Amino acid sequence: MRLLPFDYATRNLGRSPGRLVLAVLGSALVVLLVIASAAFVRGMGSSLSLPEENSNVIFLGAGSEESVERSEVSTRAAEVVATLPSVRTRLGERYVSPEVHIALAIRTEESQVEGRLTPVRGVRPTAYLVHSQVHIVGGRTPTPGADELMVGGLVGGQLGVDASRLALGKTLLIDGRPWSIVGHFRAPHTVMDAEIWMALTDLQVVGQRDDLSCVVVTLDPALGDFTDAEVLAAQRLDLELTAMREVDYYGALARFYAPIRAMVLVTASLIALGGILGGLNTMVAAFAARVREVGTLQVLGYPRRAIILSFVQESVIVAATGALIAGVVGKLLLDGIAVRFSMGAFGLVVDAPVLAIGIAAGIILGIVGALPPTLRCMKLPVGQALRG
């Protein structure tokens, strides 16, 4: 099939610069919304998922499988868990991390408003072995008893403050008491990125508790598997423990939040549909004004498919341009933005798959937006089309 030249489509776009700008912006807005939704779903999903090779096991208080913050584990239980033979050991250090998790109202020194509830994790140095996703990117780990803490990469977004307010040496207030920031860490695409970490004993003092929230251990596959942890929890009923694979724990959380993600997707789809219908309206008007041109091209011998393809090309160029703009804006403005939720916060993820979804949405928008008005133009008999 002989086609109309590609630049026939591109040049036609210049016929009405005002309409072109509006169409591109409209497409950019719809695609940006799709990108934001996809980034939300992907950000939340990735923060609640762990790689399959993760061999961590969380020991929680029995009956607290759904929330580490409500869990209570005795220090005695932690000692017993540490003796599990299949726990990984390296240079004599056993991969056992007793932890306290509490959400505390925290604010910066400069802030006059009430503090925001922020997840705080009290840890021992072994936590950095067990949670291998955590990388210290500035400063050092907090010293126990020195009122020091470390902040994750998304804490600024969680507290709603600029990163400069969380610089090393700055102070955060917990119940009015100042804590110095001595370290920065990143744990991208995990809930830990939105956490504040301090020494285990310090958080026990702040939280007025002498027990733990959980014990996280890393198993050595060569020495044993999850069954060992399950057996321990089942046999030692006196310890009141439940063992869960860390992957399963966050998997359950992900399932808990699945309806929210679905709602976001449905909302985005509905708004995108509204955008498409609005775009259709514009396209119908734009193409209706070109009925005579459609008739002329047919008289010149162009097959209908060639004309439809050219009109769809125009629309796809507009929509794809909008999608590209949305992609750049999304990457620059949305990527990494902290979104608070009950587990703390997660960062919006605008990565290659999300951008691909945005571009695909733009192209679909272009095709779906152009086909009905083009086919409508084509339905007219040529003679009638020539009369406009």
Give me the least distance between CB of 376 and another protein, in Å please: 18
Which residue, 261 or 292, is less far from another protein as judged by CB? 292
Are 224 and 81 in contact by the 8 Å Cβ rule? The answer is: no
Ramachandran sector of residue 252 (left: φ over 0; alpha: ψ -120 to 50; beta: rest) = alpha
SS3 47: helix
SS3 105: strand
Q: How far apart are CA 265 and CA 285, in angstroms?
A: 30
Q: How far apart are CA 162 and CA 140, in angstroms?
A: 21
Q: Please tell me whether residue 380 binds another protein under the rule CB under 8 A.
A: no
Q: How far apart are CA 24 and CA 300, in angstroms?
A: 31
Residues in binding contact with another protein, number by CB under 8 A: 25
Which residue, 51 or 383, is less far from another protein as judged by CB? 383
Give me the least distance between CB of 283 and another protein, in Å please: 18
User: In the stretch 299-318, what mask flags binding to another protein with x, by CB under 8 A?
Assistant: xxxxxx-x------------
Which residue, 329 or 382, is less far from another protein as judged by CB? 382
Q: Please tell me whether residue 171 binds another protein under the rule CB under 8 A.
A: no
Tokens of 313: 């090309």
Which residue, 3 or 258, is less far from another protein as judged by CB? 3
Could you tell me which residues come within 8 angstroms of residue 251 by beta carbon, excluding any fewer than 6 positions away? 48, 49
Q: Please tell me whether residue 221 binds another protein under the rule CB under 8 A.
A: no
User: In the stretch 5-44, what mask flags binding to another protein with x, by CB under 8 A?
Assistant: x--x--xx-xx-----------------------------
Closest CA to 151 of 177, 133, 124, 170: 170
Could you tell me which residues come within 8 angstroms of residue 206 by beta carbon, excluding any fewer than 6 positions away? 102, 104, 120, 174, 175, 198
Give me the least distance between CB of 193 and another protein, in Å please: 52
User: In the stretch 263-302, what mask flags binding to another protein with x, by CB under 8 A?
Assistant: -----------------------------xx-xxxxxxxx
Residue bearing tokens 């072995």 = 129
Give me the least distance between CB of 385 and another protein, in Å please: 9
Rule CB under 8 A: which residues touch another protein? 2, 4-5, 8, 11-12, 14-15, 292-293, 295-304, 306, 381-383, 386
